[in-house]
Structure formats: C-alpha cells, structure tokens
Amino acid sequence: MIVITGGAGFIGSAMLWELNRLGEQNVIIVDDLGSTTTGQWRNLSGLHFADFIPKDDFPGLLEKNCLTGIGAVIHMGANSSTTETDADHLLENNYGYSKKIATYCLAHNIRFIYASSAATYGDGSGGYSDDIPGISNLRPLNMYGYSKQLFDRWALRNNVAEQAAGLKFFNVYGPNEYHKGDMSSVVYKAFHQIHDKGKVKLFKSHRPDYQDGEQLRDFVYVKDCTAIMAWMLENPAVSGIFNIGCGKARSFRDLVNASFSALEREPEIEYMPMPETLRDKYQYYTCADMSKLRAAGYDKPFTTLEDGVRDYIQGYLGKANPYLDISTVL
C-alpha cells in the first residue's frame, strides 16, 4: 500500500494519476479538502484509490499503529504559499508534521519520499546544487522556503536523507493545479488571460541586467515529476536530497510565447511594475543542477517547455474537463 499526503493537491493527485496509469490502485490519500468552492476534490474525481484519511487524523493513526501494510509514503502535503505570513502555521504544518511522518517511516522501514522546494535556494547567489554540504547553508527568502529548509536540515542531521528521498521541486506546472489561486503557474494564468483579454501581463524587470520578461526559471512539467517519483519507488536504494527541475532556465517570455503558440495566436505581452513587497524577495534566475539525479540512474528525457505547455493547454486547459483522468488509460 502507498500513502500520498497532500494527495488531493497538485503534485499529489498527479502522482495518484501516475500510479493508476501504472496499474496501482492500493493507495491511501491523506489531505484536507477544505471548502467545496476551491474545487480541490475534483482532482480526485477521475482517479482510483483505496481510502481517504483526513490530514489531522493521520499522525495519530500512525502512532497507534492502526495502519498496516504501508510500503511507501509520498509526502507532498504542505502549505506551499510563498506569501503565507503565519510563521507558526508553516512551522507546524510543513516542519513538525513532516518530522512525525518521517520518524514513523524510518522506524518501520517504510520508503519515504518527501517534497522540499527550490525556494530553499533563496536568491540563488549560492548556486542551485543539491550537493549535501551546500544545502545546509542556504538562506531562503520567504517563510515557506525556510520551513522546507528546516526539514531538509533536520533530515540531514538525523540521517533521514540517507534512507529517504527529498525532492527540491522547481517551477512545476501542469494539470490539477487549478485550486492554487495566486500560486498557480504562469501557464495557467497566461491561458486564462489570453482567453479573457487576448494578452498576457508579466512583471517588469527591476534589475538592469535583465530585460522585461527575461527573468529566468527552470520550468518542469508535472508529468516529469511524477515519472521521477515512480522511478524512486522502483529504486528504493536511491536516497538523498535531489533537485527536480529540467536543468534548463527559460524566460517568462518564452513561456508566454509557447502559450500563445499552443493556442495558435500571435503573442501580445504587457509589462507591469512588480509590487514593492516582492522586489527584495524575487528570484531572477533559477536552474536546477540535475547531475546528482542523473548519476543516481534516472535517464529519461525531460519534456521541453514548448511540448509541455502545448500538452497542458491543448490536452487539459482547452478541454471541458481539464483534470487528470485515468479512464482513457485503464
């Protein structure tokens, strides 16, 4: 049996889709669905799983040994808002909760795969290497990144990283992110701006070494992320903390142009000032060093930005039902 925490969320539900696609349905989903108005429950509606456990109940069930037969826990559950201001909530939700699950998994020899974040790299001045000594010295720019950094450091101090796999996700985009609001990808926002107004707004650059729209990110398609996690389930000896990107930095202008192209429309981009509250926390460049994952044996190619955006827009956003659905595979 496989447990996915945050299983109704973006990457969590995409991982359930991946497991279903591979023929696995003995999966327990752990999450908090919140209000029906967010639509997060829809991420599960076309997928197959054995049971659903409320997020707050899960640690207690583990402590009482009420759940037997768990072979792996894929821990995707977290508050992923980079603008969250409640530091105590982030500490408990992203750090304390993760420690409880990791401790149980290691004590019971259960494969543990967890989500870290590229937000831990801060302004990128220290580079984007997932080399262990460097990870301990990173300085995130926001509390979300710091909560993930705290857990990475705890995992290293307590030898968790020697037995588990931590995944530093870069800019993930793709289907089932629709409930994320302001935290949804630029592809999702671009699609709706093009549909509603025929143009896309991007932030101006406030650094002389970057032109407007030329801020760079490592954009990675969610289907590549789930393929990596499936590979890690098949290779439990692979452990450590790994970057999960595609290893190429592309501009927001490239991404928006790909969005217009997928819709067969000419690009029209408008640049707007970045809010002052974001300017000192904004990353102008991210690019995952993927050599560690490659050295561990993962050799599948990554989806190009153009192909990923096209698949997302034409295969999902442009459809009446944009959610990942396993019915066409089974």
Q: Which residues pair with 270 in a beta bridge?
A: 201
Q: Which helix (H) or strand (E) holds 272?
A: strand 269-272
Set 104, 114, 121, 144: catalytic member: 144
Extract the tokens encoding 48: 């197959």
Cβ contact 290:243 at 8 Å: yes
Of 228, 247, 280, whose CA–CA distance to 130 is shortest? Answer: 247
Of 241, 242, 258, whose CA–CA distance to 305 is shortest? Answer: 258
Set 180, 189, 199, 248: catalytic member: 180
How far is residue 227's CA from residue 222's CA, in Å, rounded to a whole number? 9
How far is residue 5's CA from residue 58's CA, in Å, rounded to a whole number? 9
Annotation says 144 is catalytic? yes
Annotation says 281 is catalytic? no
How far is residue 247's CA from residue 290's CA, in Å, rounded to a whole number? 6
Cβ contact 117:145 at 8 Å: yes
Neighbour tally for 113: CB within 10 Å? 24
Active site residues: 144, 180
